Chains A and B, each alone.
Chain A
Amino acid sequence: MLFTELLKMAGLSLVANKLRTVLTMLGIIIGVSAVIALVSVGMGVRKNVTDSISRLGSNLLMVMSGSSNRGGVRGGAGSVQTLTYDDAKAIKSKIKDVAYVSPTAQGSYQVVYGHENWSTTVTGVIPEYAAIQSLTMQSGIFFTEHDVDVRSRVAVIGTTVATNLFGSVNPVGKKIRVGNAPYTVIGLIASKGQSSVGQDQDDVVLIPLTTAQERLLGITYVRSINVQVANADKMDEVQANIEKLLRQRHRIRAGAEDDFNVRNLTSLMETMNETTTMITLLLGSIAGISLIVGGIGIMNIMMVSVTERTREIGIRKAIGATYNSIMMQFLIESTMISILGGIIGIFLGIGLAQAISKFGNFTTVISSESIIASFGFSLFVGVFFGMLPARKAAKLDPIDALRYE
């Protein structure tokens, strides 16, 4: 009964001082919307990273040349070229629970058709690559084991390459030149669009691995071997087996360092997730500070308001208002400011996040957690910073308050 009356009193006093109420609210509005918008940016980064890793395939182990040794001025992964196609074949045939093995070799080339030319990455792969990457063909076919065995000069191209070289003409059956040798285009890959990090996934030319190694790049090694494990539980086991097998094959003595390294993309993803979550939390807490500043704003204004209304408080106490009822009246005022500011801030924050993704071309993810957390925090701020002025009001001596001019 009394509580609803106190609610009404607080509401009336906020309405009576509209401008002041709105200005006080501003701090909370900015704080809440900043938390929601910044966290949505952080979550967007996280989604991008996760997506681009998971697009590589699930349960993926990546074998690279070079030691994984950290520190020291050793060259990075890939600097010592020791991995071969035979290593890939051995992994496939000798290790259990391996679903696919996909070795690749890569180079950047000018690809020419007639008068048109296009700079792109030419990648040597084996047919399993298409399965791992879940490529589908828009027209033509992907090359076969046989093409790899006989080092055919055939190519499968992405739509970006096709458009730049052939325009709207179907490229299947046409001959393109790569490194001055002719390759027959036998397939056009259906468009996969941009990756979330903005990389064009259709700007590719794929040729048989052996053709790439021997006829184009003139190398005997492969750049990397991607291994898809059949079962997520077997990741560690398969990784250990690959390491053991490759040490044998590369005749590395006990105690000596590996000349390759195996990366578990799932654990890489976990690390990236941790990092991006940290970034998100950091962004959120920076924005959270502005909420605290907003709370201090509430406290300031409420302090002034209590002083201004000393006489009113005196009157209320003289006719029987208790400590708690005065305290509640002012606490409700500050809480109303923070609740209202919080609600407006939520809508503004969501709008801001959407504007960032629309006009900034940046993925944002609006999370209900950030909305609940920022609203909850603004509520806490309203109560916490409203406490001091409310207590000041409730503690006033009625005689002094009535005498106040």
Chain B
Amino acid sequence: MSNVVTITGVKKLYKMGSEIVAALNGVDLKIDSGEFVALMGPSGSGKSTLMNILGCLDRPTEGSYKLLDKEVSRLSDDELAGIRNKTIGFCYQNFNLLSKLTSLENVELPAIYAGFNKTERRKMAMAALEKVSLADRAEHLPSELSGGQRQRVAIARAIAMKPAIILADEPTGNLDTKSTVEILQIFRDLHAGGSTIILVTHEPDVAQSADRQILVKDGKITKDIITASTDERIDII
């Protein structure tokens, strides 16, 4: 399988007054197409920073990031916006839906910025909502949905453009156990359908759904194991 993500020697440095904080301190990472990866690590270890770079919301201070064999670490803001639009799907802990738009309109949003016409957009959005079994809630506002349903809408929005990778930052952090199981099942289904998924979590149970677990500590990858073939588990502490 071909590499979707190739990261080499990536550092992210922040200046805090006179001190320099390394949120990422030399990360090398390769992710293949179709992989389901869990990023784990204690709070402040650099998971979100890594996710932001993977998601082209941020650029590394040093190092190289190749997405689909294209170097993206030095692109302009608008070029990165284009990549986020077409190549990356985001899910967040707090869903990040627009509260005044219906489920369908929220899911349509990426296609609007991609310039699709109304019929195409509707079709893509409805297909995505069907994948998360929420077609019957298409006209509902986020406020009329449960937490689990909102996260499913967010996942539908993330997959509407058929992106190369799906990035989920603590997607089950705000959900009850039942919804968590539902959401993880959706990710498993997407994975089975061939999607590349990177999921940040600090819960080992959630990480268990993935085939590969990566442990981040102090801005570095300290463990990287394929769990699909072994019974090994990463414990954060």
Contacts and interface: CB of A to CB of B under 8 A. Distances in A.
A318 B55 CA distance: 9
Nearest to A394: B77
B3 to A, nearest CB: 23
A58 to B, nearest CB: 65
Interface in A306-326: 311-312, 314-325
B82 A322 contact: yes
A391 B84 CA distance: 21
A316 B85 CA distance: 10
A1 B81 contact: no
A398 interface: yes
B85 A16 contact: no
Interface string B141-163: 00000000000000001000000
Contacts of A317: 81, 84
Contacts of B114: 320
Given A12-B100, A402-B96, A321 B113 contact: yes
Contact of A320 (B52, B96, B113, B117): B113
A73 interface: no
Contact of B77 (A2, A5, A16, A323): A323
A199 to B, nearest CB: 64
Contacts of B115: 1-2
A320 B92 contact: no
A16 B110 contact: no
- Chain A CB within 10 Å, residue with most, of B58, B81, B85: B81
Contacts of B78: 322-324
Contacts of B55: 318
Interface string B54-89: 010110000000000000000001100110111000
Contacts of B98: 312, 315
Q: Binding site of A, secondary structure by majority: helix, strand, loop or mixed?
A: helix
A319 B110 contact: yes
A318 B113 contact: no
Contacts of B97: 315
Which of B58, B82, B85, B112: most chain A CB closer than 10 A?
B112
Contact of A402 (B85, B92, B116): B92
B90 interface: yes
A361 B97 CA distance: 59
Interface in A3-21: 5, 12-13, 16
A31 B100 CA distance: 32
Given A1-B115, A315-B96, A399 B57 contact: yes
A319 B157 contact: yes
B138 interface: no
Which of A13, A311, A316, A319 has the most C-beta atoms of chain B within 10 angstroms of its own C-beta?
A319
Contacts, number: 59
B135 interface: no
B85 A320 contact: yes
B109 interface: yes
A399 B58 contact: yes
B109 A319 contact: yes
A311 B97 CA distance: 10
Contact of B96 (A13, A318, A325): A318
B8 to A, nearest CB: 22
Nearest to B58: A399
B81 A322 contact: yes
Contacts of A318: 55, 57, 84, 90, 96
A337 B8 CA distance: 50
A6 to B, nearest CB: 9
Contacts of B116: 1
Contacts of A402: 57, 92, 96
Contact of B113 (A311, A322, A399): A322
A14 to B, nearest CB: 12
Contact of A398 (B57, B82, B86, B100): B57
A402 B90 CA distance: 12
Interface string B117-133: 10000000000000000
A34 B58 CA distance: 50
A317 B58 CA distance: 12
A1 B112 CA distance: 8
Contacts of B82: 320, 322
B52 to A, nearest CB: 6
A317 B57 CA distance: 9
Contacts of B84: 317-320
A319 B90 CA distance: 8
A17 to B, nearest CB: 10
A247 B171 CA distance: 104
Nearest to B90: A318
Nearest to B55: A318
Contacts of B77: 322-323
State the 9 A-B residue pairs at the shortest beta-carbon distance, nearest first.
A320-B85, A320-B113, A319-B110, A322-B78, A322-B81, A5-B112, A315-B96, A320-B84, A398-B57
30 contacts: A2-B112, A12-B100, A16-B100, A315-B98, A316-B113, A317-B81, A317-B84, A318-B55, A318-B57, A318-B90, A319-B84, A319-B85, A319-B90, A319-B110, A319-B113, A320-B82, A320-B85, A320-B86, A320-B110, A320-B113, A321-B81, A322-B82, A322-B113, A323-B78, A323-B81, A399-B52, A399-B58, A402-B57, A402-B92, A402-B96
